[in-house]
Amino acid sequence: MELIEDGEGSLTKAEGKLNPSDFALWKSSKPGEPFWDSPWGKGRPGWHIECSVMASDFVGEGMDIHSGGIDLAFPHHDNELAQSEAHFDCKQWVNYFLHTGHLHIEGQKMSKSLKNFITIDEALAKYSSRQLRLTFALVQWNNNLDFKESLLHEVRSIESTLNKFFKNIRALKLDNEHKVESGVIISKKFGKLEKKLFDDLAAAKLKVRAAFCDNLATPFAIRALMDLVNSSNTYISTVGADIKVDPLIQVVKYITKILNILGFQTRQDQLGWLDDSQSSGSSSDGASKEDIVMPYVKVLSNFRDLVRSSAIDKADYKVLLTACDELRDKELLKLNVSLDDRSDKQGALVKFLTDSEREELIKQQEEKIRLQQEKEAKKLQQKKAAEAKERERLAKGKLRFAYKDGTRRRSHQKC
Ligand SMILES: [Zn+2]
């Protein structure tokens, strides 16, 4: 009864009800209030009528899903049903109701009168849209969500775990590609540890599916994803240098797919969600800072590895000079960066090339190498010719020497 009275509005005391559970279809207007003419006098439609009329206007005589907060379940939605089913003379105006839980702030119901409400703009100034989305995903849609510090603490921890995981796998993938490029043979054979990871992935898929099928239980889905991240991290720390990236990539792609279903913005390569900095620090084509910078940093890191290991091995300085040439002529040029060496230890001039400029430079380089090779071939030819001449001369000399020698031998024989 309390709910019914509350539903009728505290301002107008319903008069003349035949049954205590009757509700107002039409309310008379007080002086100064907006009104429409009706057979029952000047007035306006009751709250339930507003909803029934608007919904019918859009979706017709029946609807599959009607949503609303749990506080609207009774009497509002019951009244909507009563009047609409009477009006359309049907038995089921709505097939399903989705009644969402309330949003509470630190244990208190959010309400205008308590003035404890947070506007979306205020929340977005304090938390990223991703953090808010994660907060909502951590509470099942039909439960009350208590927006409190401890929940947000959990959100930040999950966010950071996932961030680290995605970055780690992307780095491992890049590293693997580099190894393959430089001719390292990586066995494709999966061992016990990889098989365990594949089993964990399959188990996670079943758990997530079961969670979604059970009234969209997003918190359980997220938990299953986090368990999968944990077992992947365990795999990485136990497997050592023999790490296989394929199973890890499959894990990341699956997690990304589920996050995408939950509405998170994900990367095009399906290797994690978009960086939070994406909106501020991105280029116009949506590539993240990481995507843009990573190839250059990778070249730098490879060069550092070489310098470091050369120093540790006390290698000859020529190794470093060769590496410097490689860096300039191959690695950086691939990235459209040209280093123009200058005299007097001035350091190289750094230039960023367009694709056609790079092609031109590569052609020039090839031409230079060709000329150099030609020069060397010519030199070699000249050297060979000179050597041949020398051999000829020596041969002649030998003949003379042999003759002399022969004479000597003969004279010796005489002795
Ligand atoms: Zn309504």
The CATH number given to whatever domain includes residue 182 is 1.10.730
Does residue 359 lie within any of the structural domains? no
Does residue 339 lie in a domain region?
Answer: yes
Q: Which of 352, 378, 401 is the last residue of a domain?
A: 352
Q: Give me the pLDDT at residue 287, please.
A: 67
Residue 106 lies in a domain: no
| Residue 319 sits in the same domain as residue 387 | no
Distance 162 CA to ligand 1 centre (A): 39
- Cβ contact 320:307 at 8 Å: yes
Predicted local distance difference test score (pLDDT) of residue 346 = 73
Per-residue pLDDT of the chain (415 residues; tens, 9 = 90+): 888 877 776 555 566 778 888 888 888 888 888 999 999 889 988 889 999 999 999 999 999 999 999 989 999 999 999 999 999 999 999 999 999 998 898 888 877 778 888 888 998 999 999 999 999 999 999 999 999 999 999 999 999 999 999 999 998 998 888 888 888 888 888 999 999 999 999 999 999 999 999 999 999 999 999 999 999 999 999 998 889 999 999 999 999 999 999 999 999 999 999 876 554 444 445 567 888 898 899 899 999 999 999 999 998 999 999 999 899 988 898 898 988 887 777 778 888 888 888 888 888 888 988 999 999 999 999 999 999 998 888 888 776 655 555 555 544 444 4
305 and 373 fall within a common domain = no
What's the gap between Cα 34 and its chain centre? 53
Please report the pLDDT score of residue 200 as a whole number: 98
Task: State in Å: Cα 55 to ligand 1 middle.
Answer: 9
Q: Is residue 5 part of a domain?
A: yes
Q: How far is the CA of 50 from the centre of ligand 1 (A)?
A: 7
- Residue 288 located in a structural domain: no
Do 306 and 267 share a domain, yes or no?
Answer: no
Same domain as 378, residue 340:
no
pLDDT at 134: 96
* pLDDT score for 13: 59
What is residue 400's predicted lDDT score, i.e. its pLDDT? 64
Q: How far, in Å, is the centroid of ligand 1 from the Cα of 378?
A: 93
Question: Given this model, what pLDDT does residue 280 score?
Answer: 41
Please tell me the total count of domains within the chain. Answer: 4
The range of the structural domain enclosing residue 55 comes to 1-100
Cα 53 to averaged position of ligand 1 atoms, centre (Å): 10
Is residue 108 one of the residues assigned to a domain?
no
Gap from CA of 39 to ligand 1 centroid (Å): 25
pLDDT at 403: 59
Q: According to the model, what pLDDT value does residue 15 have?
A: 67
